[in-house]
């Protein structure tokens, strides 16, 4: 726990340095004054984490209640909370690789590679019986939606500005705001991502003149509002947007007014042919998927693997790339005969 003075508090679990194969849980970061500034990093600040679990940490601010600054590789970052309406789980990290993130990500000017952003529910709940150390002046129980000074975290976007994602899965999240927020100064770029089965009001929030977002080889399918209205591609208003879509698979649930500034080679399908069953690779593609081989080949794919980071799944197959974060290496099912 880091309990500081009136202004600057950094790192509830760890400040600077490196950590590996460690558990960071139940840490808190807050100031003595409610007007405290720069309260950053409930789990850690300016630290590079490798193969760590960073969960159930708290920051009384919007500044990286899980991780702020530094980086993470092969980590689980889960169930961290903040008291602001923008209580970001991950903020301003310079590198995020092979991680699973349950919570909001505010990754400014940073790339996320081979990461999974999953099972987020507005980011303001902790597991039962795993409470963080709390601000003694805070009157709210941690097991419910956190409210502080009249601010309740409800309308938060999932992915916020300055975010460049490659081979990432964004699935099974629930937010009453938008999935992706771009700004005029900080872009959001998705390369070979799968954005599926999320509950949200908007696919791109703030997508009006002056904002910048682009998606290449990305799947948008099965996204909807809490009432079941399709949200595979929509914006909060009819203004011309600075969204560019290249070789994406998009479900049929899109607004007529959601016309990107740039859109080429779109595959429209509500059946992307994900594999059956459940588990970590539920969103892998069948051989019959309309996403197979329909992506735009880019230089970075030459020696890359897909999200599984398994040598059995190179990013290119026969010189072609699939749309989404998974590359299909299944062979087509042949014709079977049963003779009795």
| Beta carbons of 215 and 196 less than 8 angstroms apart | no
Tokens of 160: 């916020």
Nearest to 153 by CA among 130, 176, 120: 176
Residue ranges covered by each domain of the chain: 1-105, 157-331
pTM for this prediction: 0.86
Tokens of 32: 């003595």
Q: How much is the pLDDT for 139?
A: 35
Nearest to 31 by CA among 161, 116, 172, 135: 135
SS3 of the chain: CEEECCCCEECCCCEEEEEECCEEECCEEEECCCCCCCEECCCEEEEEEECCEEECCEECCCECCCEECCEEECCEEECCEECCCCCCCEECCCEEECCEEECCEECCCEEEECCEEECCECCCCCCCCCCCCCCCCCCCCCCCCCEECCEECCCCCCEECCEEEECCEEECCECCCEEEECCCCCCEEEECCEEECCECCEEEECCCCCCCEEEECCEEECCECCCCCECCECCCCCCCCCEEEECCEECCCECCCCCCCEEECCEECCCCCECCCCCCCCCCECCCCCCCCCCCCCHHHCCCECCCCCCCCECCECCECCCCCCCCCCCCCCCCCCCC
Q: How much is the pLDDT for 211?
A: 63
In Å, how far from its chain's centre is CA 208? 21
Q: What is the pLDDT along the chain (340 residues), one digit of tens a residue?
A: 555 545 678 888 899 989 999 999 888 887 665 555 677 888 999 999 999 999 888 887 667 888 988 999 999 998 787 765 556 788 888 889 999 988 767 666 678 999 998 877 644 444 433 444 444 444 333 334 333 333 333 445 677 777 889 999 999 888 777 788 777 777 788 999 999 998 888 887 664 555 678 899 999 999 998 899 888 888 766 545 578 899 999 998 887 766 777 889 999 999 889 997 667 899 999 999 999 999 999 999 999 999 999 999 999 999 999 999 999 998 765 544 556 5
CA angle 10, 11, 13 (to 5 degrees): 160
CA–CA gap between residue 112 and residue 94 (Å, rounded): 9
Q: How much is the pLDDT for 106?
A: 67
| Beta carbons of 44 and 75 less than 8 angstroms apart | no
CA–CA gap between residue 189 and residue 40 (Å, rounded): 25
Q: How much is the pLDDT for 26?
A: 82
| Beta carbons of 126 and 56 less than 8 angstroms apart | yes
251: phi then psi, degrees, rounded to nearest 5:
-65, 170
């Amino acid at each position: 726990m880091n309990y500081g003075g009136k202004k600057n508090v950094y790192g509830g679990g760890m400040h600077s340095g490196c950590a590996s194969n460690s558990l960071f849980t139940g840490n808190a970061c807050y100031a003595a004054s409610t007007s405290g500034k720069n309260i950053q990093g409930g789990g850690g600040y300016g630290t590079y984490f490798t193969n760590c679990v960073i969960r159930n940490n708290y920051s009384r601010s919007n500044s990286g209640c899980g991780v702020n600054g530094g980086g993470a590789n092969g980590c689980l970052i889960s169930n961290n909370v903040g008291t602001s309406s923008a209580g970001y789980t991950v903020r301003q990290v310079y590198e995020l690789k092979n991680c699973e993130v349950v919570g909001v990500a505010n990754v400014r000017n940073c790339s996320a590679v081979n990461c999974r952003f999953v099972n987020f529910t507005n980011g303001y709940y902790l597991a039962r019986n795993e409470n963080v150390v709390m601000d003694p002046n805070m009157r709210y129980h941690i097991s419910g939606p956190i409210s502080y000074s009249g601010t309740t975290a409800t309308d938060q976007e999932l992915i916020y500005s300055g975010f460049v994602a490659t081979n990432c899965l964004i699935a099974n999240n629930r937010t009453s705001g938008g999935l992706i927020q771009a700004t005029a100064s900080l872009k959001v770029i998705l390369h070979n991502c799968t954005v599926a089965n999320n509950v949200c009001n908007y696919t791109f929030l703030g997508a009006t003149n002056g904002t910048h977002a682009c998606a290449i080889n990305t799947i948008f399918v099965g996204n909807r509002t809490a009432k079941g209205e399709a949200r595979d591609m929509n914006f909060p208003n009819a203004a011309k947007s600075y969204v560019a879509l290249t070789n994406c698979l998009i479900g049929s649930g899109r607004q007529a007014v959601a016309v990107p500034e740039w859109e080429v080679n779109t595959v429209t399908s509500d059946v992307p042919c994900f594999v059956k069953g459940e588990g970590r690779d539920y969103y892998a593609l069948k051989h019959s998927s309309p996403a197979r081989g329909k992506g735009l080949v880019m230089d970075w794919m030459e020696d890359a693997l897909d999200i599984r980071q398994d040598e059995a799944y190179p990013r290119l197959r026969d010189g072609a790339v699939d749309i989404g974060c998974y590359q299909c290496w299944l062979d087509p099912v042949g014709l079977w005969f049963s003779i009795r």
